[in-house]
């Protein structure tokens, strides 16, 4: 029983096809190559702007690696097919944008409940509804967190550049495999379509994780148990004679449905939460610049983190003690670090391409005596260094 | 008592005993469908280890999942075929079977049904058509006969039912057949054929729901519903000579199509071979 994508043959193909070096790529292409390096060999999707180049790149490259590209009839079918394929041992991905992400939410919840590893890239565009279909935005911060129903944990990562998108996509796969859970990549239309220099590494420089498989019959009989105490059950793949039963309904450790016993639901849902909350070291990641002596802290994520860094650098040139905190995993939010930083600064600015979403997470972890202010811009055009700098000067 | 029944029922080896007894109502056609499926598997001498059974939501989704002892995937409402598509691509050598109801597969799941048929992916779908949403309390379905009463068409149904088999045949499936639960032997033969056909196959089973449908339409007893099926079933050969007026309210039974078309997973893997050849990626 193997997870396909890690065989020497696959590594040989990657090495042969993608020579290490510098390339001039779109952010979307960087996501696709990241996925291929991470071992993704199944992509099911439905084209939607501004994510389509991810599908196009996968359609072109996957067959070379012996992988499967499926263009499904809609987004719901796409994530459904991914779940089916993941249970056969394939590493799977899809990419979409706001409206498609909305359609995927029900089965995203299914993947959480059935503990199915998958990677879902949401190339955010402005909304609500069709909005500005071709423009970037950061409006899906909470759709990633609360889009599906019920009590559920979610892990979401957010790259800040094309190069970062390559590595963060790989990291998303590793988190998904390690914790047997869906992982959302919150990308955006601006970076998706920006072409920049992207360094493709040698395949040996890429660390790859694979999901835990049952070591014996006993573990295989408990596809939703917790034999290792870390909350992550080994995954008995389909086709190996284990007669595994998988359902989105509340189920016991052996997979069989039990929706009537309160304790069964409580035990299952709490464990699914615990395996995310209790394994922060697997996914928690943030970047810091000049936070040691900062008096004014800029907290930013995704595409906006780059002009934010530009603004902080310029502010430093002007003698303003500004710093930058960038959560790279945005859900679960790095709240403890945010709390520590919040105690040390006078003012916090949160620039985002929305009318204020991540700022609500920041607010949960800072005291009232800190000046907290959003720097918000919508309309599909990213925030500039000047716009953020002006706000820093305003609170300096 | 129950134990004795199970121990003398020869198909019990195919059932997940810890999940029994079933949740189906007395008189439900679901048991007949499960029995027919188990018999088809038995007669073909298929190893259940080579089967993956997928279902959606509703009474009929329960027929094989959890009761059939194989890898089973019980999915969200309407999406069983889409989930099964991923399974089949990952395990092209296994038999992937979808068993679910008309509300699940033909209503909310209608899009997946026609596109899987168009793609001609090698999945066998057993669609249990009982004209009603059973589990949610007997509401009108896209298969409810014109004029029939349900909890959401309390006066009469003014919508025309979807002819599922004809739709799927037109969409491009390799094999389509329709029987009723009163035609068990024909049903088993069709399921066997469907399992062996390389391509998308659909077996529509017109099935009784005395509790939610029959009760509101003057057929409270399961046997009354079976008699209704027998009386109104018309073999497809005969139906071809009948006018639409004559066919109103009849169940056309038999094989709608049985043909060979390129199958999706085979074509997908063929394409991969060609591409790898073209780019010189084959191991020499």
The mean per-residue pLDDT over the stretch A378-393 comes to 98
Residue A211 lies in a domain: no
| A339 and A267 part of one domain | no
Decide if pLDDT at A299 tops 60: yes
pLDDT at residue A116, rounded to an integer:
98
Answer with the one of A281, A314, A333 that is the final residue of a domain. A281
Strand stretches in chain A, DSSP E: 21-26, 40-45, 68-71, 91-96, 118-126, 132-136, 155-157, 182-188, 195-200, 245-247, 286-289, 296-299, 322-327, 329-331, 347-352, 371-376
Residue B8 lies in a domain: no
**B82 contacts on A by Cβ (under 8 Å):** 72-73, 76-78, 80-81, 84
Answer with the one of A205, A229, A252 that is the final residue of a domain. A205
pLDDT at residue A9, rounded to an integer:
85
Residue B50 lies in a domain: yes
pLDDT at residue A137, rounded to an integer:
97
What are the tens digits of pLDDT across the range A143-156? Answer: 999 999 999 999 99
Residue A1 lies in a domain: no
Tokens (6 digits) for B136: 């949610």
Specify the CATH number for the domain of residue A39.
3.40.50.970
Residue B151 lies in a domain: yes
Residue A360 lies in a domain: yes
CB contact under 8 A, B83 and A244: no
The mean per-residue pLDDT over the stretch A355-363 comes to 98
Closest partner CB to B82 (pick from A76, A89, A245): A76
Residue B207 lies in a domain: yes
Residues A127 and A100 sit within 8 Å (Cβ to Cβ): no
Spatial separation of the C-alpha atoms in residues B236 and A139, rounded to whole Å? 55
Decide if pLDDT at A18 tops 60: yes
Instruction: Name the residue range of residue A264's domain.
Output: 217-281
Spatial separation of the C-alpha atoms in residues B80 and A289, rounded to whole Å? 48
Residue A172 lies in a domain: yes
Residue B1 lies in a domain: no
Q: How far is CA B180 from CA A57, A132, A221, B44, B107, in A?
A: 47, 51, 37, 21, 20
Q: How far is CA A97 from CA A48, A111, A126, A127, A144, in A?
A: 6, 19, 9, 10, 12
Decide if pLDDT at A189 tops 80: yes
Residue A98 CA, chain-centre distance (Å), reads: 14
Residue A87 lies in a domain: yes
Q: Enumerate the β-bridge partners of residue B140.
A: B132
Closest partner CB to A68 (pick from B71, B84, B268): B268
Specify the CATH number for the domain of residue A303.
3.40.50.920
Residues B148 and B213 sit within 8 Å (Cβ to Cβ): yes
Mean residue pLDDT across chain A: 96
Tokens (6 digits) for B182: 């009163």
Residue B95 lies in a domain: yes
> What DSSP character marks residue A336?
H
Is B212 at the interface with chain A, CB within 8 A? Answer: no
- How far apart are the CA of B52 and the nearest CA of chain A, in angstroms? 7
| A191 and A237 part of one domain | no
Answer with the one of A281, A298, A323 that is the final residue of a domain. A281
> What DSSP character marks residue B26?
T
DSSP A14-40: HHHHS-SEEEEEEHHHHHHHHHHHHTE
Residue A269, φ and ψ in degrees, nearest 5 = -70, -35
| A269 and A298 part of one domain | no
CB contact under 8 A, A244 and B71: yes
The mean per-residue pLDDT over the stretch A87-94 comes to 97
Closest CA to B157 of B101, B85, B216, B112: B216
Residues A185 and A31 sit within 8 Å (Cβ to Cβ): yes
| A305 and A252 part of one domain | no
pLDDT at residue B9, rounded to an integer:
85
Is A142 at the interface with chain B, CB within 8 A? Answer: no
| A322 and A388 part of one domain | yes
Q: How far is CA A347 from CA A220, A322, A323, A391, in A?
A: 53, 9, 10, 11
Residue B19 lies in a domain: no
| A31 and A153 part of one domain | yes
Total number of domains constituting chain A: 3
Q: Which residues, in sequence order, are CB contacts of B284 under 8 Å at separation 6+?
A: none
Spatial separation of the C-alpha atoms in residues B100 and B68, rounded to whole Å? 13
pLDDT at residue B283, rounded to an integer:
74
Residue B270 lies in a domain: yes
| A125 and A235 part of one domain | no
Residues A120 and A92 sit within 8 Å (Cβ to Cβ): no
**In B126-209, which ranges are continuous DSSP H helix?**
164-171, 184-196
Residues B176 and B187 sit within 8 Å (Cβ to Cβ): no
Give the model's confidence band at A94: pLDDT under 50 very low, under 70 low, under 90 confident, else very high.
very high
First to last CA, chain B: 64
Spatial separation of the C-alpha atoms in residues B158 and B143, rounded to whole Å? 12
Pairing of strands A118-126, A132-136: antiparallel
Q: How far is CA A11 from CA A32, A38, A59, A99, B89, in A?
A: 16, 10, 19, 36, 22
Residue A251 lies in a domain: yes
Q: Which residues 258-277 in chain B show a CB within 8 A of chain A?
A: 268, 271-272, 275-276
The mean per-residue pLDDT over the stretch A184-203 comes to 97
pLDDT at residue B1, rounded to an integer:
44
Spatial separation of the C-alpha atoms in residues A81 and A76, rounded to whole Å? 9
Q: Enumerate the β-bridge partners of residue A182.
A: A118
Instruction: Name the residue range of residue B209's domain.
Output: 24-279
Instruction: Choose, out of A41, A238, A241, the residue to mutate when testing the contact with B (most B CBs < 10 Å).
Output: A238
Residue A89 lies in a domain: yes
| One pLDDT digit (tens) per residue for chain B, 284 residues | 455 555 678 899 999 999 999 999 999 999 999 999 999 999 999 999 999 999 999 999 999 999 999 999 999 999 999 999 999 999 999 999 999 999 999 999 999 999 999 999 999 999 999 999 999 999 999 999 999 999 999 999 999 999 999 999 999 999 999 999 999 999 999 999 999 999 999 999 999 999 999 999 999 999 999 999 999 999 999 999 999 999 999 999 999 999 999 999 999 999 999 999 999 998 76
- How far apart are the CA of B111 and the nearest CA of chain A, in angstroms? 7
Specify the CATH number for the domain of residue B249.
3.40.50.970
What are the tens digits of pLDDT across the range A206-252? Answer: 999 999 999 999 999 999 999 999 999 999 999 999 999 999 999 99
Total number of domains constituting chain B: 1
What are the tens digits of pLDDT across the range A129-142? Answer: 999 999 999 999 99
Residue A177 lies in a domain: yes
pLDDT at residue A3, rounded to an integer:
64
């Amino acid at each position: 029983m193997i997870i396909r994508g890690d065989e020497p043959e696959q590594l040989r193909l990657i090495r042969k096809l993608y020579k290490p070096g510098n390339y001039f790529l779109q952010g979307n292409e960087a996501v696709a190559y990241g996925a291929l390096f991470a071992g993704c060999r199944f992509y099911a999707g439905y084209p939607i702007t501004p994510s389509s180049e991810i599908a196009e790149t996968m359609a072109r490259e996957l067959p070379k690696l012996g992988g499967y590209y499926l263009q499904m009839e809609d987004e719901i079918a796409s994530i459904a097919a991914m779940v089916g394929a993941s249970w056969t041992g394939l590493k799977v991905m899809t990419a979409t944008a706001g409206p498609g992400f909305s359609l995927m939410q029900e089965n995203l919840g299914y993947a959480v409940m059935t503990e199915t590893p998958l990677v879902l890239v949401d190339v955010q565009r402005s909304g609500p509804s069709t909005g500005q279909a071709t423009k970037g935005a950061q409006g899906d911060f909470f759709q990633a967190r609360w889009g599906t129903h019920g009590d559920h944990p979610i892990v979401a990562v957010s790259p800040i550049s094309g190069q970062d998108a390559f590595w963060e996509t790989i990291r998303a796969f590793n988190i998904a495999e390690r914790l047997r859970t869906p992982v959302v990549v919150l990308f955006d239309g601006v970076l998706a379509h920006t072409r920049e220099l992207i360094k493709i590494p040698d395949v040996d420089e890429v660390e790859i994780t694979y999901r835990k498989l049952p070591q014996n019959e006993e573990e295989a009989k408990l596809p939703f148990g917790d034999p290792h105490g870390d909350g992550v059950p080994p995954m008995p793949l389909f086709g190996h004679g284990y007669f595994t039963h998988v359902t989105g309904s509340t189920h016991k450790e052996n997979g069989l449905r039990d929706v009537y016993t309160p304790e069964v639901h409580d035990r299952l849902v709490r464990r699914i939460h615990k395996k995310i909350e209790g394994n922060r070291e697997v996914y928690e990641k943030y970047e810091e610049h000049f936070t040691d002596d900062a008096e004014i802290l800029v907290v930013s994520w995704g595409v906006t983190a780059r002009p934010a860094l530009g603004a902080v650098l310029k502010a430093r040139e002007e003698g303003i003690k500004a710093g930058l905190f960038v959560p790279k995993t945005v859900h679960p939010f790095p709240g403890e670090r945010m709390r520590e930083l919040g105690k040390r600064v006078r003012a916090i600015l949160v620039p985002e391409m929305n009318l204020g979403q991540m700022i609500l997470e920041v607010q949960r972890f800072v005291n009232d005596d800190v000046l907290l202010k959003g720097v918000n811009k919508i309309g599909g055009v990213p925030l500039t260094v000047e716009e953020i700098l002006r706000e820093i000067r305003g609170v300096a | 008592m129950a134990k004795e029944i199970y121990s003398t029922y020869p198909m019990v080896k195919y059932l997940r005993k810890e999940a029994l007894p079933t949740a189906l109502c007395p008189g439900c056609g679901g048991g007949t469908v499960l029995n027919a499926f188990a018999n088809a598997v038995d007669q073909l001498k298929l190893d259940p280890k080579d089967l993956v059974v997928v279902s959606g939501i509703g009474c009929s989704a329960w027929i094989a999942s959890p009761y059939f002892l194989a890898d089973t995937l019980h999915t969200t409402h309407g999406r069983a075929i889409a989930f099964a598509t991923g399974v089949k691509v990952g395990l092209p050598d296994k038999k992937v079977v979808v068993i679910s109801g008309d509300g699940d597969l033909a209503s909310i799941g209608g899009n997946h049904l026609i596109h899987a048929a168009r793609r001609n992916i090698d999945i066998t779908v057993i669609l249990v058509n009982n004209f009603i949403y059973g589990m949610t309390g007997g509401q009108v379905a896209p298969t409810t006969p014109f004029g029939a009463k349900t909890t959401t068409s309390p006066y009469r149904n003014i919508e025309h039912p979807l002819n599922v088999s004809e739709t799927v045949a037109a969409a491009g499936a390799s094999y389509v057949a329709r029987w009723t639960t009163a035609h068990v032997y024909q049903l088993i033969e069709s399921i066997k054929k469907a399992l062996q056909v390389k391509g998308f196959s659909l077996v529509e089973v017109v099935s009784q729901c005395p509790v939610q449908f029959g009760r509101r339409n003057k057929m409270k007893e399961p046997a009354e519903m079976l008699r209704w099926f027998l009386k109104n079933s018309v073999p497809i050969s005969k139906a071809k000579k009948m006018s639409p007026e004559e066919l109103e309210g009849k169940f056309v039974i038999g094989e709608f199509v049985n043909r060979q078309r390129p199958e999706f997973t085979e074509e997908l893997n063929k394409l991969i071979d060609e591409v790898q050849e073209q780019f010189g990626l084959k191991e020499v």
